[in-house]
A = this chain, B = another copy of it.
Amino acid sequence: MTSNRFALENQKALMAVSLGKKPADLIVANGRILNVYTGELTTGGSICVTDQWIACVTEDVSACRGPDTRIIDAEGMTVIPGLIDGHTHLANYVSSKEFMKQVIPDGTTCLVTETLETAYPAAGTACILDFIESYQNQPVKVFFTVPMMVSPGQHFLKKSDQDLDLLLHRDDVLGLGEVYWQALLLEPDTVLPLISRVLVLGKTVEGHSAGAKNRKLAAYAGAGVSSCHEPIDLTQALERLRMGMYVMAREGGVRKDLTAISTIRNMDVDLRRMILVTDSVTPEFLMEKGYMSHVVQKAIDLGFRPVDAIRMATLNVAEHFGIDHLVGGIAPGRFADLCIVPDIRQITPKWVISSGKVVAGNGQCLAAPRDHVYSEKSLSTVTLNQAFSAADFTIPVNSDAEQVQVRIIDKISPLVTREKTAVLPVIDGLVQMDIENDIIKIAAIDRVDPSNPRFVGLVSGMGLKRGAIASSAPWDTGDIIVIGADEADMALAVNRIGQLQGGTLFTSGGNIVAELPMPIMGLMSDLPVEAIAERMKQVNQAARAAGCVFDDPVLSLVTMTSSAIPYVRICEQGLFNLKNGNIYDHLKEKNP
């Protein structure tokens, strides 16, 4: 993507336009221009673009104006650099083409996405590479980070050094994706060499230090992790900045931390290492709020100086990733990524220019995103090898007792869990749910390798009184995850995911009540964003109608596998305790 920037013919063409020996392809004239390097808002200059790049910003454009030069008149408007999202997850419900349609008019011209999710659906790097390819040659630039490939309790994520090198040496791969701090502290012998391998290449190591502080945070930062998008308040943000980390204030689909962190604007603190990110958005978010323009606008509305807010989504991000010679500012040699807004305080793009092309005007997408044909491998990632029945979701115990004390995942918030115990009846050697007391079943089934064990456990706090909710896209795993108050509905849900080769759905009374097919790696739909949002709404409504107490039952479901959120999670081997890295089964007495 960026590899041809410094090809001799491009360098010479750029130089010819800078020197006034060749006309520009595009001139953005008459606007105020934000210089993120100095912080100045300048007038009188015009931005001369050739091919994909900025040749110069000059007050005298006569030498740059030829018969074929397109002029964009920015009179009365302000030109800022195209916005950058420094941390997101694009393998998230929406296909590359449909995502592009949404993000282009928003003024976001560069994204750095995790690839973690695409590492699970296939052994090797087939899906990762297909995902990367799906975002190549699109109207907006996308960079990638390599998945850490070490997730506690996940045996199949240790990819080969060859696979890693293949990815790390790509010019569109900027470093190692978010390294969970618990993984680093629990498995230093595995994680540290990975970090070393990335740093010696001059690339970055992205962080995820939710909840870490003091000595543990120092150990984590000291290992070479240079960013964190998990601070949820000023204290956490400041501690990370002081340790030399970049703080990514998150405002997206999963969490909205910007308001809490924004009080940093009142401290006399340098903001050069503050970054704004989404950490992914939902289809609803995309439709209702937009993308980075919304986040930057919110930062301004929260009282950040506009130049600081814009820098947090442009120059600061580019500097963190070492790509500030390519993006993040309006200067010679950079990609011509420009966002023309009414005013520096009003981030509603009138024109968006990406790599020198006018890709959006007045909110309309003017570019045609490429329709990526996903690989056969990416479209067949669910292997079940059996039709599931209710009997597959029983919990047998080797005991004649009529009841047994069991270990339960207790959801104490939409995302956070703790461990609790309960005494449940045993009938015919099988532990029974206690729907009345909100103790129902949860199962993790490996969809990549059906020969792997699977685990049926117990969960409380969801509120579901009937039916089952399931998804092929839980976080940090290649499992299908299903939560249900009825074993037959759980089986139906899993079987349907197998038929669809991926999806998120709700079943009840033997029927598919609502479903979103997700045939792309089991993670993404090929539907338009609007349709995805509508289908998701239907699944969530169905789950809530069946008693689920959370606003977004699907989110509460898919996060049950994430080793990033405290503190008891499920994997196909059992219950994973993030505090100590151990895996437990149901029986309380069995484990310490």
Contacts and interface: CB of A to CB of B under 8 A. Distances in A.
Interface of A: 3, 6-8, 11-12, 14-15, 18-20, 35, 37-40, 42, 53-58, 63, 171, 185, 188-189, 192-193, 195-196, 199-203, 214-216, 218-219, 221-224, 226, 238, 241-244, 268-270, 272-273, 319, 322, 324-325, 329, 331-334
A189 B15 CA distance: 12
Given A38-B270, A221-B332, A189 B8 contact: yes
Contact of A332 (B203, B222, B325): B222
B222 A18 contact: yes
B218 A58 contact: yes
Given A215-B58, A222-B55, A332-B222, A244 B188 contact: no
Given A332-B221, A333-B224, A242 B322 contact: no
Contact of A218 (B188, B189, B332): B332
A244 B37 contact: yes
A243 B331 contact: yes
A219 B333 CA distance: 8
A20 to B, nearest CB: 6
Contact of A37 (B54, B203, B242, B324): B242
A218 B18 CA distance: 6
Task: Report which residue of A35, A38, A189, A325 has the largest number of chain B beta carbons within 10 angstroms of its beta carbon.
Answer: A38
B38 A218 contact: no
A443 B3 CA distance: 46
A219 B11 CA distance: 9
A516 to B, nearest CB: 41
A325 B207 CA distance: 14
Contact of A269 (B3, B40, B199): B40
A37 B243 CA distance: 8
A333 B223 contact: yes
Contacts of A55: 218, 222
Contacts of A269: 38-40
Given A53-B222, A325-B226, A8 B38 contact: no
Contacts of A196: 6-8, 11
Contacts of A325: 199, 224, 226, 244
A218 B24 CA distance: 14
Nearest to A217: B332
Given A270-B37, A273-B37, A331-B244, A218 B56 contact: yes
Task: Report which residue of A171, A223, A243, A334 has the largest number of chain B beta carbons within 10 angstroms of its beta carbon.
Answer: A243
A26 to B, nearest CB: 15
Contacts of A216: 19
Contacts of A223: 11, 14-15, 333
Contact of A192 (B8, B18, B40): B8
Contacts of A242: 35, 37-38, 40, 42, 57, 331
A488 B11 CA distance: 51
A195 B193 CA distance: 31
A569 to B, nearest CB: 24
A325 B243 CA distance: 11
Given A14-B223, A15-B188, A332 B244 contact: yes
A4 to B, nearest CB: 10
A1 B38 CA distance: 34
16 contacts: A6-B199, A8-B193, A18-B222, A19-B215, A19-B219, A37-B241, A37-B273, A38-B269, A39-B270, A42-B242, A54-B222, A55-B218, A56-B218, A244-B324, A244-B334, A272-B272
A84 to B, nearest CB: 15
A196 B171 CA distance: 13
Nearest to A199: B6
A145 to B, nearest CB: 15
A222 B15 contact: yes
A273 B316 CA distance: 12
B56 A333 contact: no
Contacts of A322: 202, 322
4 closest Cβ pairs, A-B complex: A222-B332, A244-B331, A222-B333, A56-B218
Contacts of A222: 14-15, 18, 53-56, 332-333
A476 to B, nearest CB: 23
Given A56-B222, A199-B325, A226-B325, 14 more contacts: A3-B200, A6-B199, A12-B188, A15-B188, A19-B215, A19-B216, A37-B270, A37-B273, A56-B215, A57-B242, A201-B202, A221-B333, A222-B332, A244-B331
Given A11-B196, A196-B7, A215 B331 contact: no
A332 to B, nearest CB: 3
Contacts of A171: 200
Nearest to A198: B6
A355 to B, nearest CB: 15
Nearest to A191: B11
A15 B324 CA distance: 31
